[in-house]
Amino acid sequence: MLFCQQAISYNIPLSGVIIKEKANELAAKLEKKSFKASDGWFQKFVKRNGLSFKTASGESAAVDVGAAEQFKSDALPLLIADYSPQDIFNMDETGLFFKCLPNKTYCFKSDKCHGGKNSKERITVVVATNMDGSEKLELLVIGKSAKPRCFKNIKNLPVIYKSNKNAWMVSALFEEWILNLDERMVSEGRRIILFIDNCPSHPNIQQKLRNCRLQYFPPNMTSVLQPLDLGIIKALKVYYRNKLVRDQLNAIEKDELLNVNLLQCVCMLADAWQNHVKQSTIVNCFVKAGFVKSDNLICINENSIDNDPLEENVFRSNFEALAEQGFDSFEDYVTFDDNLCEGAILSDEDIIKTVQEQSSIDNDDDEIHSVPDDVVDNETISTPSQNQLEDAFQTIYAGLLTSKKLPKDSFSKFFDLKKTLLGDK
């Protein structure tokens, strides 16, 4: 089925003859000598996977603006009619060169992530949120190492972390992610609809889901129909890269060398996502994509999508302090890796390996890999002592007491966190 999924995603025509021939080839490579892709097997395969065969209407890899507008006006209102904005979600992946700084532009821009030293420093970030921006799901970060050395002593992460050799989303990871989300929705008594793009790493497993409905965008239209592609992922990268630039400037002032490791990366991503990407940005991007329920949702227009948050002068000035070569603008720096591969066209060997590894993917997290120094940093976090924690809380407490602007629940949250880490002391 992986072969069919990626063929459909890349608009490659399929026929019964092609599918049966490919099935026989894969079976031979798997040494399944008794297998034969007969007509009977093919009919069962088609029925089991919900395939249908239609006459192709011609090539069109470019966005059909008219068809996209028709989808917005005709199909989309019907799809979301029975769901509240809180239960309408969009999920997508984005590639990220997580160590990239403005003065490293050229080597990164020339790296197509098919090898080379810089490809070791990329990850894939899976982003999902609902229509009214009230629920930003925990980020899923996919790296290359199951146990990076910088994760030593770390018991909890602010993101979900998974790994495979290419740091790509694969069908097994998608299935695991969506099944966990479905289980959560069952426990909460919620029914949601999740909009995703139609790519090989997003298999249709609707029959396994109880409270999550999968809805695929029409082919070749995600750039104009998918809310995450219309500014939400961009905002996440803005805040992440601005933090990188600020840290680099601070390191320069201290005459130090900034070397970001994967642990620091996931912490900065989680902070950018949960604390800085604005609800108004999310709402406006969903509205721009045609997700409008006027009875339930008011569009927040405090900033336009294009200018939020790129108009903030501090972001640009921080960037300009470092941009001696490479990027022409801060926006160029933010978006240069938007077209990185988050998945791949799988060879027969890749398909076979993916199938063989699906059953063992959960065991990856318990495996400690020996990772070369040039793949991840060897910086680790030591478990703080009781006295170190108490000193840290005293500093934070002083900051709360002397802050001019403080949310009402700040002290209660502080005391809850202190009790969690220190107990009743």
pLDDT single digits (tens) 294-317 = 555 444 444 444 444 444 555 555
Please tell me the predicted confidence (pLDDT) of residue 225.
93
User: Comparing 71-80, 81-90, 316-325, which segment has the lowest mean pLDDT?
Assistant: 316-325
Contact 199, 92 (CB under 8 A): no
pLDDT single digits (tens) 160-217 = 999 988 888 988 899 999 999 999 999 999 999 999 998 888 989 999 999 999 999 9
Please tell me the predicted confidence (pLDDT) of residue 336.
67
The alpha carbon torsion through 185, 201, 129, 151 (nearest 10 deg) reads: 90
φ, ψ of residue 106 to 5 degrees: the values are -65, -40
What gap in Å lies between CA 124 and CA 45, rounded to an integer?
32
Please tell me the predicted confidence (pLDDT) of residue 364.
43
**Domain 2-49: top CATH class:** mainly alpha
* Residue carrying the six token digits 């400037």: 249
Query: H helices of 2-120, where?
Result: 2-9, 16-29, 39-49, 65-70, 76-80, 105-109
Question: Which among 144, 136, 53, 48 is positioned nearest to 98, based on CA atoms?
Answer: 144
Please tell me the predicted confidence (pLDDT) of residue 265.
94
pLDDT single digits (tens) 224-280 = 999 999 999 999 998 998 888 888 778 777 777 778 899 999 999 999 999 899 999
Q: What pLDDT band is residue 3 in, cutting at 50, 70 and 90?
A: low
Angle, alpha carbons 85-90-95 (nearest 5°): 150
- Beta-carbon count within 10 A of 187 CB: 9
As a residue count, the chain comes to 425
Give residue limits of the domains in the chain: 2-49, 70-335, 386-422
φ, ψ of residue 307 to 5 degrees: the values are -100, 0
* SS3 at position 213: strand
Q: Between the CA of residue 316 and those of 250, 255, 333, 363, what are the distances in Å?
A: 16, 23, 11, 44
Please tell me the predicted confidence (pLDDT) of residue 383.
83
Contact 367, 147 (CB under 8 A): yes
List, in order, residues 6 or more apart from 3 with CB less than 8 Å away. 19, 22, 26, 346, 351
